[in-house]
Amino acid sequence: MSYSIGTPPFQLYGMIDTGSDLIWFQCKPCKSYYNQTSPIFDPSKSSSYNIIPCSSPTCTQNPESHCSLDHMKKCEYNVFYGDFSKSKGYLSEDILTLISNDGSPVTFSNIVIGCGHKNNFTIDGKISGFIGLGRGPLSLVSQLGSSIGRKFSYCLVPFFSQANIPSKLNFGDTSVVSGIGTVSTPIVQGDFGTFYVTILEAFSVGNETIKLNHTNFRLKNPGNTIIDSGSTLVHLPYAIYSRLESAVASLVKLKRVKDPTQQMNLCYKTTSNFLKVPIITAHFMGADVHLNALNTFIPVDHKVVCFAFVPNDVFDYVTFGNVAQQNFLVGYDLLKNIISFKPTDCAKY
């Protein structure tokens, strides 16, 4: 996501993540950093930049922040992610600028941000840091709040699309997902405050239906699935994954091979750009989401594709990552507490 921070506005690029809250980016001076190819923000050059003091409720009530140990009475944050990315720096405030659909800038004052001076990120490139779109108070969605009607949506262009076309992210009234093909599922409270938690009832593939019973999870609440734009794959409890893999493998008539990256279990050799694999339907409460080859298999090497679902018994929930969300308009309405899916050619949206 392209956005700007400070006065004058300084352009940054954040990875949107519905699975976290904080807006953070690398800042000068960096004590340790990852290789960012775009310019790094220098807070001393922004006349509107302010570090939040330790005494502020923003610091004391945020579980990821604390008073710095250097006796400077500044609020320090420390965040970690599932892929071992991390950032540490000062919790601050500044002006955030977005570009509206008509090309004009829209500014938001006193947005809480993380100015990261010690960072480790698993991806090199122009990405400056993270844009948290979660449900916590410091996420961009929560901070923009009523100004966007607590609504946003995105349409993810396929990773391996040949055309250099950006994905779309909308806030407010333009983000409403509706019309033919739209299905919606409720957001439930779940056991995870930050995340967008839904209820996934079953998968179906061919003639087989694989139900996700509450006994598959060690959760207090019925919510069992996180819709996570910051994850890549679909992560499933092993018992569910095993049945789904068997059902898919029984219907795919291609030569099985090992994953060259050693990350996925079910891989095939293919010589065609057209991949003949079964449709997998994710049966969310009130919403059947039909996943085609684009959502269920990814190319990992020359003429090798792998099933983009993996077993995971570390976490007691399903993670519905961004491969499964490609070519869907995915809308989040936090007033109605629903997530909507609409099949869409995102390159043309």
3-state secondary structure labels for all residues of 176-214: CCCCCCCEEEECECCCCCCCCEECEEEEEECCEEEECCH
Pairwise CA distance, residues 193 & 102, whole Å: 35
Only one residue has tokens 């898919």, namely: 248
> Rounded to whole angstroms, how far apart are CA atoms 157 and 347?
6
**CA 256 to CA 249: how far, in whole Å?**
9
Give the residue among 83, 46, 92 at the shortest CA–CA distance from 65.
92
SS3 call for 1: coil
Hey, is 173 helix, strand or coil? helix
| Residues 304, 257 contacting (CB under 8 angstroms) | yes
Enzyme catalytic residues: 17, 228
The residue whose two tokens read 């710095």 is: 68
Give me 301's structure tokens.
């090497």
